Amino acid sequence: MGIRVYKPTSAGRRNSSVNDYAELTTSRREKSLCKRIKKTGGRNHRGVTTTRFRGGGARKIYRIIDFKRTKDGVPAKVATIEYDPNRNCFISLLHYTDGEKKYILAPLGIQAGDRVESGPSCEPKIGNAMPLSAIPAGMEIHNIEMRAGQGGKLVRGAGSAASIMAKEGNWVTVVLPSGEMRMVRKECRATIGRLSNPDHQNVRIGKAGRKRHMGRRPHVRGKAMNPVAHPMGGGEGRSNGGRHPCSPTGVLAKGGKTRNPRSPSNNRIIRRRKSGRFQIRV
């Protein structure tokens, strides 16, 4: 695990760095757990651009990840630690004793040859998936379910981990990496440990070409456009927009609420990630 900095043989290479991928054990994927995904280029089924500045990029094969971890009582051996182009953490290939193979998100510190298991009665060690009620308080966890049996939704980014603060009745209080504190049902499952590849945040892209390989096209400022293309465009000389920042369709871009106010999960938030204030539940 580490960052490799190349010699500055060009202007782009001078300011870039890459992951050394020292933890990976193979470059061959399990073909039975892969499928081809179609690129959208930021467009919907009618061909209308719904997300700007996307397109191109290298072709990627999707690895089918087991986010549910419901194969209880069947131990599995960690066969490989692999790179996944669809996410920033590494993945592990599990070989179960009954012959089945599955991919999971690789925790930090797991190695090929280790044994992992899932279920309420397994040992609370790195890589094991258990209900929150069976995990001791204070342990680092990831891939947390929001509803039992739904599959992991929370804490799936490289190097991230949540921690269990308290247990009360049917609810478990979890502190997320963003600082948000929320309550989750005790039947929901989570995987023990911190996710792999914590150095992902330290990699410097270095040049625009690497972003194009990721499928990201140049982001053009609205005030640099013509008035016909953006509400903030035009003007004599360099202008500062003359209005609050907005999208090409005139929707205000700053300070808007992004959460769905009708989502029932909002009622289980004890402390929000931004303000730090506690929410009083009735």
Question: Is residue 280 over pLDDT 50?
Answer: no
Q: What is the pLDDT of residue 279?
A: 56
Q: Whole-angstrom Cα distance, residue 113 to residue 117?
A: 13
Residue ranges of the domains in the chain?
17-40+57-200, 222-257
Q: Whole-angstrom Cα distance, residue 181 to residue 272?
A: 7
> Which letter does DSSP use for residue 79 in this model?
E
Domain 17-40+57-200, CATH among 2.30.30.30, 3.40.30.10, 3.40.50.170, 1.20.1090.10 = 2.30.30.30
222-257: what CATH class?
Answer: few secondary structures
Question: Is residue 26 over pLDDT 90?
Answer: yes
**Residue 282 pLDDT level (bands cut at 50, 70, 90):** very low
Segment 7-29 mean pLDDT: 92
pLDDT digit string (tens) for 96-133? 999 999 999 999 999 999 999 999 999 999 999 999 99
User: Do 30 and 64 touch, CB atoms closer than 8 A?
Assistant: no
Alpha-carbon distances of 50 from 42, 64, 211, 245, rounded to whole Å:
6, 26, 20, 19
Q: What is the pLDDT of residue 275?
A: 65
Q: What is the pLDDT of residue 281?
A: 52
Question: Is residue 276 over pLDDT 70?
Answer: no
C-beta atoms surrounding 121 within 10 Å: 9
Question: Is residue 65 over pLDDT 80?
Answer: yes
